[in-house]
């Protein structure tokens, strides 16, 4: 047994001094300081202790993209994000041809057991290729198409671990796709879409219940023949059955919009994602969005990746610790709420709350220790220290 002493446990909406005992990879006890005895000791020295961060939308990092479809890439990206507090992630694919997607899925199957120094792989997020062309953002328009049952059924058969699939629900065939995914336990997500409020409400009847990167490639109020029509953004605030995610890198959304989403959608319906591409962990230069072979060139500046003509962002270059820090410092969130939005809430949105997302006796000891500025100091998965700033 190992006892983590002198830490401030951030869990279930509170932050309190607690000692945490870990045994056989799981939380064995949570108690007042100084009341647990025996075993090895890990001195938190006043640091915050929380469940490890869960990133449900991430494309890569440290020079790697999951679309590279190599075990080296999957290892490198997951290891980079673990060092920044992410103990579990949902690797995300881009709009691509069927063969390229299948190649990425095949590597996921081989890497699914995980890496000792990397974040756990919870399942896959398929972003596209069934997107609205006018909302493609940094996705390659050459690969965007309407939902094809033969294609998405074959893709799902190749990887039953698909947890979520982002689609524009106004496209022909999207309703059927939503029903089909829901029947198999995957979460149909609304994204890269020009859907109106009424179309969002209709999509929810077909299982769509989560908005992919709110404000980014999502519709808002438009005027047609003088009449105003609300879009996805307004739907996210108004519809209680709809959850959302935000890229809280401080670039995709300024502090005021992060604060508005936090205050009026709230930490129970809002989660944080990096949407990180291969350049996560770097600040300048050039990179590639998607696979090295078929991806698009991007530039890095101002803390974000951009298309070369600077017409749109091309995914973030941030890590999960930066998300939590920004929600506290830019959006005015309490630390417990900021942590909740990247632990408990994403786990619940994806139906994984029974196995991950919060610190409790009997749960896996996936933990992160960080300071008052959310600088990560130590990361554990299954009760073992996987990375430490002092090592």
Mean pLDDT across the chain: 96
Residue with tokens 């809280």, as numbered in its chain: 248
The residue that leads in pLDDT, 307 or 258, is 258
Q: What pLDDT does residue 198 have?
A: 98
Q: What pLDDT does residue 146 have?
A: 98
Neighbours of 142 (CB within 10 A): 12
- Among residues 317, 316, 335, 315, the alpha carbon closest in space to that of 326 is found at 335
Report the range of poorest mean pLDDT among 12-26, 111-125, 288-302.
288-302
Q: Give the residue-averaged pLDDT of 162-190.
A: 98
Residue 15's beta-bridge partner residues?
10
Q: What pLDDT does residue 391 have?
A: 66
Q: Give the residue-averaged pLDDT of 333-361.
A: 97
Q: Give the residue-averaged pLDDT of 21-36.
A: 96
Q: What pLDDT does residue 224 have?
A: 93
Query: 339: pLDDT confidence band, cut at 50, 70 and 90?
Result: very high
Strands 53-58 and 14-23: unpaired
Torsion of CA 147, 150, 152, 156, to 10 degrees: 170
Distance (Å, rounded) from C-alpha 269 to C-alpha 121? 23
Q: Is 43 a catalytic residue?
A: no
Distance (Å, rounded) from C-alpha 88 to C-alpha 52? 7
Q: What pLDDT does residue 175 have?
A: 98
Q: CB–CB of 171/136 below 8 Å? A: no
Query: 288: pLDDT confidence band, cut at 50, 70 and 90?
Result: very high
Query: 389: pLDDT confidence band, cut at 50, 70 and 90?
Result: very high
Handedness of CA 354, 360, 364, 369 (dihedral sign): positive
Query: 292: pLDDT confidence band, cut at 50, 70 and 90?
Result: confident
Q: What pLDDT does residue 38 have?
A: 82
Query: 342: pLDDT confidence band, cut at 50, 70 and 90?
Result: very high
Rounded to the nearest angstrom, the gap between the alpha carbon of residue 360 and the centroid of all alpha carbons in its chain is 22
Distance (Å, rounded) from C-alpha 342 to C-alpha 320? 8
Q: What pLDDT does residue 52 have?
A: 98
Dump pLDDT digits (tens) for 83-126.
999 999 999 999 999 999 999 999 999 999 999 999 999 999 99
Domains and CATH numbers, the chain: 2-49+362-388 (2.30.40.10), 53-349 (3.20.20.140)
Distance (Å, rounded) from C-alpha 95 to C-alpha 139? 6
**What pTM, to 2 d.p., does this model score?**
0.97
Distance (Å, rounded) from C-alpha 263 to C-alpha 28? 35
Q: Give the residue-averaged pLDDT of 166-181.
A: 98
Q: Give the residue-averaged pLDDT of 47-64.
A: 97
Q: What pLDDT does residue 51 have?
A: 98
Torsion of CA 246, 250, 252, 255, to 10 degrees: 80
For the chain, the maximum distance between any two Cα atoms, rounded to a whole number of angstroms, is 73
288 phi/psi in degrees, rounded to 5:
-130, 130
Secondary structure of the chain in HEC code, one letter for each residue: CEEEEEEEEEECCEEEEEEEEEECCEEEEEECCCCCCCCEEEECCCCEEEECEEEEEECEECCEEHHHCCHHHHHHHHHHHHCCCEEEEEEEECCCCHHHHHHHHHHHHHHCCCCCCCCEECCEEEECCCCCHHHCCCCCHHHCCCCCHHHHHHHHHHCCCEEEEEECCCCCCHHHHHHHHHHCCCEEEECCECCEHHHHHHHHCCCCCEECCCCCCECCCEEECCEEECEHHHHHHHCCCCEEEEECCCCCCCHHHHHHHHHHCCCCCEEEECCECCCCCCCCEEEEECCCCCCEEEEEECCEEECCCCCCECCECCCHHHHHHHHHHCCCCCHHHHHHCCCHHHHHHCCCCCCCCCCCCCCECCEEEECCCCCEEEEEECCEEEEECCC
Q: Is 302 left (phi over 0), alpha (psi -120 to 50) or beta?
A: left
Q: Give the residue-averaged pLDDT of 295-313.
A: 90
Q: Give the residue-averaged pLDDT of 23-44.
A: 94
Query: 258: pLDDT confidence band, cut at 50, 70 and 90?
Result: very high
Encoding tokens for residue 72? 């080296």
Q: Which of 19, 68, 275, 366 is catalytic?
A: 275
The residue that leads in pLDDT, 294 or 388, is 388
Q: CB–CB of 248/266 below 8 Å? A: no
Encoding tokens for residue 45? 């020295």
Q: CB–CB of 54/274 below 8 Å? A: no
């Amino acid at each position: 047994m190992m006892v983590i002493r002198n830490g401030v446990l951030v869990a279930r909406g509170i932050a309190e001094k607690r000692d945490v005992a870990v045994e056989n990879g799981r939380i064995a006890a949570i108690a007042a300081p100084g009341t647990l005895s025996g075993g090895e000791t890990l001195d938190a020295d006043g640091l915050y202790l929380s469940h490890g961060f869960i990133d449900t939308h991430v494309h890569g990092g440290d020079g790697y993209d999951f679309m590279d479809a190599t075990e080296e890439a999957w290892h490198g990206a997951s290891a980079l994000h673990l060092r920044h507090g992410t103990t579990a992630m949902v690797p995300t694919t881009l709009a691509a041809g069927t063969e390229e997607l299948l190649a990425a899925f095949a590597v996921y199957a081989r890497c699914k057991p995980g890496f000792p120094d990397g974040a756990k792989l919870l399942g896959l997020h398929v972003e596209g290729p069934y997107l609205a062309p006018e909302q493609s953002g940094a996705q390659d328009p050459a690969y965007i198409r309407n939902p094809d049952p033969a294609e998405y059924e074959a893709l799902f058969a190749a990887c039953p671990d698909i947890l979520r699939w982002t689609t524009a629900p106004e496209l022909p065939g999207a309703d059927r796709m939503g029903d089909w995914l829901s029947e198999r336990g995957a979460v149909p997500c609304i994204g890269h879409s020009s859907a109106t409020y009424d179309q969002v409400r209709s999509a929810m009847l077909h299982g769509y219940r989560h908005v992919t990167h709110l404000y980014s490639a999502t519709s808002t109020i438009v005027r047609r023949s003088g009449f105003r029509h609300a879009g996805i953004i307004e739907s996210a605030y108004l519809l209680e059955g709809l959850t959302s995610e935000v890229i809280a890198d401080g670039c995709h959304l300024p502090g005021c919009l992060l604060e508005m989403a936090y205050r009026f959608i709230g930490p129970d319906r809002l989660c944080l994602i990096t949407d990180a591409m291969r350049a996560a962990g770097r600040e300048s230069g050039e990179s590639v969005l998607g696979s090295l072979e078929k991806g698009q060139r991007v530039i890095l500046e101002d803390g974000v990746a951009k298309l070369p003509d600077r017409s749109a962002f091309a995914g973030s270059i941030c890590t999960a610790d930066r998300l939590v820090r920004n929600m506290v410092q830019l959006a005015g969130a309490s630390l417990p709420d900021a942590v909740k939005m990247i632990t408990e809430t994403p786990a619940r949105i994806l139906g994984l709350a029974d196995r991950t997302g919060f610190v409790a006796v009997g749960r896996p000891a996936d933990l992160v220790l960080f300071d008052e500025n959310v600088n990560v100091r130590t990361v554990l998965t299954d009760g073992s220290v996987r990375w430490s700033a002092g090592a």
